[in-house]
Amino acid sequence: MASKPPVPQAHPKKVLITGGAGFIGSHLVDHHVLMGDEILVIDNCSTGTASNLAHHGERVGFAEGNLSDVLNSLSGDDARFDQIYHLAAAVGVDLVLKDPIGSIRTNFIETDAMLDFALKHGSPPTFIASSSEVYGKPGISVFSEEDDSIYGPTSIKRWSYAHTKAIDEYLAMAYGEQHGLPVVVARFFNTVGPRQLGSYGMVLPRFVQSALDGEPLRVFGDGKQSRCFCDVRDVVGVLPRLLACPEAYGKVMNVGSDISISIIELAELVIKELGSSSTIERVEYSEAYPSGFEDLRHRKPDLTRLRSFVEFEYDYVLSDTIRDVAAFEESGSHIAEGAS
């Protein structure tokens, strides 16, 4: 189903979105365009692509390059924004495993540069994107923001991503406490939808592409591990409301769906919704990931804190998202995107 479009504002805002050519970022751009805002996107296009923004034409400003370099080039009115969203980051387990050094540097250094920029240029409300990976492996199935984080050993590269996103959160909270920067941090849980590709291990687009090609859907382990998948269009709709809520400043909160589905059930649903002739193939983790890779059996967010600040319900159910991802794949739009 289609969600209600955002209502254009009487007083449009000037908005900076880092990582705005990526999957979540480009949908956030769409949302703010409909709100009538003036937008600048900064993206190095390492996992995003300018084609995600092409439908906006000159309506959206776009600066391609290293985030720190672009920020340093801005001055005066060009450096003043009413809102900032920082979504530029290394994403996906596969990318982290292939390039841990680049991922660590991106997630730590660029977040610090972004927060410092915001502080020096008017301290506008600033959003920092984090991840459910921050929870690590706490041995529970429902994750709440005040739960302890438990990580594996530093010899397991997978946990480097969780550490860097946790440092991002510490930085954001410190900028808020020490300098009064109005900052909100959101831990995303398995955001899915059109424009997301399976290149870096994202399970839903990988399943959808296999189903469209009539190839087996590869399910790792026994397939009984569960996740909660939230449509990106529902996710980006709540972010502006958080930045407009002063009570949320200085808070970390979960953002996602709290409806669980096992990975084997997800594979079955994809095959059913797309009328595919594909089968399901079980694959041992040892065949798909390096030795020592650890996966979580269950991951579900507690959304109590989020809903205490803003209204949040779902306009898209998973079957809607599956069909929309398939339509995107069949349109060929992803071909120009490379590994975004």
Catalytic residues: 161
d(CA 318, CA 67) in angstroms, rounded, equals 34
pLDDT of 1 higher than 60: no
CATH label of the domain that carries residue 227: 3.40.50.720
Question: What's the mean per-residue pLDDT of the chain?
Answer: 91
157 or 260: which leads in pLDDT: 260
In a domain, 242, yes or no: yes
Percentage of the chain beyond pLDDT 70 is 92
Q: Rounded to the nearest 5°, which phi and psi values hold at 191? A: -80, 135
Strands (E), the chain: 14-18, 38-43, 60-64, 83-86, 126-131, 142-143, 183-188, 191-192, 217-220, 226-228, 230-231, 251-255, 260-262, 280-283, 300-301
Q: Which of 1-15, 161-175, 276-290 has the lowest mean pLDDT?
A: 1-15
Given this model, what pLDDT does residue 95 score? 72
14, β-bridge pairs: 38
In a domain, 5, yes or no: no
Question: Residue 312 gets which letter from DSSP?
Answer: -
In a domain, 330, yes or no: yes
Residue pair 230/258 in contact (Cβ under 8 Å)? The answer is: no
Task: Give all strands of the β-sheet with 83-86 in edge-to-edge order.
Answer: 60-64, 38-43, 14-18, 83-86, 126-131, 183-188, 251-255
Given this model, what pLDDT does residue 19 score? 96
In a domain, 4, yes or no: no
In a domain, 9, yes or no: no
Question: pLDDT-based confidence at 286, cuts 50/70/90?
Answer: confident
In a domain, 3, yes or no: no
pLDDT of 315 higher than 90: yes
pLDDT of 140 higher than 80: yes
In a domain, 64, yes or no: yes
Domain containing 161: what range?
14-337
pLDDT in tens, 190-203: 999 999 987 766 89
158 or 70: which leads in pLDDT: 70
Question: pLDDT-based confidence at 90, cuts 50/70/90?
Answer: confident
Total of domains in the chain: 1
Given this model, what pLDDT does residue 165 score? 92
In a domain, 2, yes or no: no
Question: pLDDT-based confidence at 170, cuts 50/70/90?
Answer: very high
Q: Nearest-CA neighbor of 269 among 314, 221, 319?
A: 319
**Type of residue found at 46:** S
